[in-house]
Chain A
Amino acid sequence: MSPEPLSIVDAGAALRSGESTAVGLLASVLSRAEMTESELHCYLNLDREGASRAAASADEELERGVDRGALHGIPVAVKDNMCTRGLETTCSSQILSGYLPPYDATAVARLREAGAVIIGKTNLDEFAMGSSTENSAYGPTRNPWDTERVPGGSSGGSAAAVAAGSALGALGSDTGGSIRQPASLCGIVGMKPTYGLVSRYGLVAFASSLDQIGPLTRTVTDAAVLLAAVAGHDPADATSYSGPLPDFAAGLHAGVEGLKIGVVRELNGEGYQAEVSEATGDMLNRLSAQGAEVVEVSLPMFDVALSAYYLIAPAECSANLARFDGMRYGLSIKGPTAAATMAATRAEGFGPEVIRRILLGTYALSAGYFDAFYGQAQKVRSMLQSEFEAAYRKVDVLVSPASPTTAFRLGERTQDPLAMYLSDICTIPSNLSGHPAISVPISLDSKGLPIGFQVMAPALGEQVMFRVAAEVERLAGFGALPAPALAPPTRVPL
């Protein structure tokens, strides 16, 4: 059985028309997982039992006329850095091997309340640090478009699962592009909301001022639907946005006529795969043809955004990951003293990329270096945000490639941390500013690998962002593609 993967919206319609059931949807998604998992390794943990119960309950509720909305009965996956009560949550780290959280992350709880069926926990770069999902202590995830290639990261498991049809949608987290970059590399839609829109409570923190949970889906509409289910104020997160939320799906298909679209000059040129630049330019022409005014915008701080990011994110992570010390939970390698136990546990339990970033962040915060590194990076961040805001006074959205290249080969960048870091050059600025951004697949390169297009918007500008993204999706005709096969896809869009 190889069912056609559906969008969340289509699946919801099928459920309500009686064409399918939640149990049936789950079965087809799980059978898809059975087909693909040995090759792709999207999941660290498939919760068949919990998912079956949730699906049965969703069907039973629908029969009784209880309809929890768009996600009712929909099988979704959750990145394994979000806490799930009683379900192992490892962040792909040895240090949390076997860890069973005593509570659900707020986003997970909201998925459950919305009637979603949580299939399992997806693979990621350890503690979300990486751009290829190769930094997982439990082995890498592979790209469904070419299994010799990475799915991107850190939400590579979520992106690959949605692309492969072993989930209809997934939650990821995006600190420097960890939703958008893998979405781009896997040919799906990935969106990072405005900072504070989705509660971070229960998301195992990497860099607190940058982390945001967001949706990975097959369509822009699905992204809006999934976002709506998890967004909203949470008193347990002091950085949670408490104002009114717009209807994210409203006006989605209003087109781009009359909108002003800014093309970021700094996100192009050297280091960008030619086909990526071409596809981006091509899409801009089409948007222009649809009545959008396309202008070039320069944001000079983008050139140092990556540098600032690789000081700020490691600095925050060095403190956020300090709690993993072998004293209260998780891995513990006992030494003669508490200090020795902590040091041995952490050296053993963390992988090299995590250790690298902890060292980097510790250094950037340490006496004598704080002002030159961390302090200066925060000022650059401030200037970057000002530049963004100035730009958004002139244009409605900013656009760029979502990733400078399409999916790269496993192992290609693992020996060169800096080259790996450059994978996030397009996505990092919106994390630093806290603004929303989305990646939409637009075409394939000559190797048959997906190219993603990024739409960035001002704070709480999700509506206009989705509106432009939906038009991009429509113009690209990509969302209608069937899920890619494990072998390079035979059908090329457009």
Chain B
Amino acid sequence: MPIDVDVAHVANLARLALSPEELDRYRQELGVILEHASRVQQVETSGIMPLSHPLGSGNVFRPDEPSPSLDREEVLEMAPESRDGFFVTPPALD
């Protein structure tokens, strides 16, 4: 059975402004995909440690040594808006 997802809530978490039609379409598609994906729940996994890193060692660090930063002009040139060396964004709260 397809899984019923509160897509509007998920879209809000993911910062995606979707139309009601889009939400409805994604809700249906996600339901089907998740139904397939939920097959993982049929696997008996008690006592199994989750795997986050496929391979590799532990303790990878860098020494505390400064390295050159980017040129500010180059950085701000990419920005939609900048002023006096700052990135300018719309206000944080409505």
Contacts and interface: CB of A to CB of B under 8 A. Distances in A.
A434 B55 contact: yes
Nearest to A319: B14
Nearest to A367: B13
B11 to A, nearest CB: 6
A350 B16 CA distance: 9
A304 interface: yes
A355 B16 contact: yes
Say what secondary structure dominates the interface of chain B. Answer: loop
Nearest to A354: B16
Given A359-B10, A373-B40, A378-B51, A334 B90 contact: yes
B37 interface: yes
A402 to B, nearest CB: 20
Nearest to B63: A235
Contact of B48 (A383, A433, A434): A383
Contacts of B91: 336-338
B74 interface: yes
Contacts of A373: 34, 37-38, 40
A351 interface: no
A209 B26 contact: no
Interface string A339-367: 11111101100100001101110111010
B43 A304 contact: yes
B56 A239 contact: yes
A487 interface: no
B45 A310 contact: no
A385 B38 contact: no
B53 A102 contact: no
Interface residues of A, number: 72
A327 B75 CA distance: 12
A372 B92 contact: no
B1 interface: no
B90 A307 contact: no
Contacts of A363: 5, 10, 30, 34
Interface residues of B, number: 51
A127 B9 CA distance: 24
A336 B89 CA distance: 10
Given A307-B36, A337-B94, A379 B10 contact: no
A209 B41 contact: no
A385 B48 CA distance: 12
A291 to B, nearest CB: 31
B11 A459 contact: no
Interface in B62-79: 62, 70, 74-75, 78-79
A418 B36 contact: yes
B54 interface: yes
A379 to B, nearest CB: 4
A285 interface: no
Contacts of A235: 62
B85 interface: no
A311 B10 contact: no
B52 to A, nearest CB: 6
Interface string A359-393: 11011101000001101111111110100000000
Interface string A300-330: 0101101110110000001000100111111
A84 interface: no
Given A307-B37, A311-B37, A329-B78, A341 B89 contact: yes
A271 to B, nearest CB: 13
A338 to B, nearest CB: 5
Interface in A199-221: 209-210
Given A336-B94, A383-B45, A376 B40 contact: yes
A241 B60 CA distance: 10
Nearest to B62: A235
A379 B43 contact: yes
Nearest to B49: A382
Contacts of A350: 16
Nearest to B47: A379
Contacts of A322: 14-15
A241 B56 contact: yes
Nearest to B46: A379
10 contacts: A195-B55, A242-B57, A304-B43, A337-B93, A358-B16, A359-B11, A366-B13, A377-B40, A380-B45, A381-B50
The 6 closest A-B pairs by CB, nearest first: A434-B54, A378-B50, A332-B80, A343-B17, A382-B51, A329-B78
Given A346-B17, A417-B32, 13 more contacts: A242-B60, A325-B15, A327-B79, A336-B91, A340-B17, A347-B17, A355-B26, A359-B5, A377-B40, A378-B50, A381-B51, A383-B43, A433-B54
